[in-house]
Amino acid sequence: MLNPLNFCLFLFSISAKKYTILKKTILMPDKYFLFAHHFMQLAYFHRKKFYIFWSIGFITIVLINLLFLFLTTPFTFSGDFNIKYSSYHNIEVEIKQHRVYGKLNKYITVAQRNNQCYREHCGFPSEGNYMLDELQFITLSGDDYIKKMCVRNSLCYHNLYEDQLESYLIKIYKEQIDQTIYMLWVFICINILFYPAILYAIEHQRKKEEIATILDLQTEHQSEMTF
C-alpha cells in the first residue's frame, strides 16, 4: 500500500528533466532543486532504512524532551509544585527600602535566603524595626520567598498572598512548558539537519558493498580462468 510519504518521495524521485514544471511551480533555484531532487531520490530508494532512522531520531527526541520536562518541571507529571515552608522564631528585623534586614540565626541572614518585599513594607504599616515571633519562608521550585511575618502580639503581615502564589506557579509552569517546546523544536531541527548526512552515509555504504561484491566476483572469475 502506497502511503502519502511514499507517494511524495516517488514524485520527487522521478527525473527532474521530465518534470521541470515542478521546479518552476515551487520556485526553487536550480542548485537547491537538484539537491532536493537527489535527496528525495535517495530517501525513496532507501525508504526502509530512512523510516528506521527517522523513527529512532523521533523517539530519541521525545524521550529527551520528556526527561528534560521531568527534570525541570516535575510537577507536570506529579501535580506537586514542590512547595515547602520553613519558619524562624524570635528574631529582630529591620524593614527599609523594600527589603528585610536581620539574622535568622547565628549563621544565616534574611538576605541569604531572600529579603525582597513584594508588597509595600512587606505588608507592615511602615518601615522600621520589628521583633518577630515568626518569619515564614515559602520555597517554590527551589526559590525562597518571605511569605509572612508575625509580631509579638500574634498579628501577622503577609508579604505574599495565595492568589500571588497561584499566579506565580502558573507563570513558572508556562515558562517551563514554553522552554520545553523550544527545546523540542531545536532537537527536531538538529534531527532534520542530520537526515541528508544519514542518507548519504547509507548510499556510501551501499556503493562500498556494491564495489566489494564486484571485486569478489572479478576475483572468483579470475580464479576460474586460472584453473
Average pLDDT, the chain: 74
Which has more confidence, 72 or 17?
72
Order the strands of the 83-96 sheet from edge to edge.
Answer: 99-102, 83-96, 128-140, 143-151, 156-158
Average pLDDT over residues 38-52: 68
- The average pLDDT across 10-14 equals 48
Global confidence as pTM: 0.48
pLDDT number for residue 153: 72
- Confidence bin at 163 (pLDDT 50/70/90): confident
List, for residues 201-222, the tens digit of each pLDDT value: 776 777 777 777 777 777 776 6
Strand partners, 137: 86, 146
DSSP bridge partners of 102:
93
Residue 96 clears pLDDT 80, i.e. is over it: yes
**pLDDT at 62 (0 to 100):** 76
